[in-house]
Amino acid sequence: MIYLFEDRKDRMHILLNEKINDFNDVLFSNKIIDINKENLPNFFNSLTDLDIVILHKSYTFKDDNITSDNVRDIVKKLNKKFVLFSGGLDNAIIGDNEIVLNSGTLYKNLNFFIQNYRNNKEANLVYLVFNSQNEYLKHQIKKLQNAIFPNLIKFNQENAVKIFKQTRNNVDNYLVSSEFLEDKRKLTDYIEKKIEMKDFNHTILFEQIQKMISKYENN
């Protein structure tokens, strides 16, 4: 179950186009944190169906001593996922089982996120930032490009092994979606083979990476 703690109900209904009731099977938005700070852990422990907490950064707690960080820490200790949103944020921050993002982005993508949550029984928080699988794939590609290409520009025979290994690791770390599995395998196998053979042609490596990237960029 997703627990949404939003004290600006008017905004919630407007941005969701009054569709909040369509989510009742997986989203609970009427729960109020009206307890003292000392009871906060018990409050979240009592939510036995909890999977995700979505909290407005400026949420008005009954106890002024409670902060959004207190809620985050408790949720993380429970090994649940945490989302913090605010109208004053420009860029999303994606962490380990948590995301900080803009209010408009959250509500724009909440329907897509919930459909994925319903269908797959999995809370993939990135779908609150990217409202389609294709957008998310392109985001991973962009991060890979930003990590790899500056290194390839600096390539020379003295740093060849280091750059080829960094490239292999970047491919493995940035392309995390299952759609990339086969292409990742082929590319990392190619890089491993070149490292073993000490065949460091970075131009061909660049072409191999570009070939894989274009496959997804053009979808």
Residues 163, 142, single domain; the answer is yes
Residue-level pLDDT at 79: 95
Q: Is 80 exceeded by the pLDDT of residue 17?
A: no
Domain count, the chain: 2
Higher pLDDT, 85 or 15: 85
Q: Do 164 and 80 fall into the same domain?
A: no
Query: Within this chain, do residues 56 and 147 fall inside the same structural domain, yes or no?
Result: no
pLDDT at position 40: 96
Sequence-separated (6 or more) residues with CB below 8 Å from residue 169:
none
Domain shared by 147 and 97, yes or no: no
d(CA 185, CA 60): 49
Q: At which residue do the structure tokens 């294709």 appear? A: 134
65 and 108 share one domain: yes
Domain that residue 29 falls in: 2-130
The arithmetic mean of pLDDT across residues 9-35, rounded, is 77
Report the CATH number at residue 117. Answer: 3.40.50.2300
**CA 78/CA 96 separation, integer angstroms:** 14
Characterize the bridge pairing of strands 52-56 and 27-28: unpaired
Whether residues 42 and 95 share a domain: the answer is yes
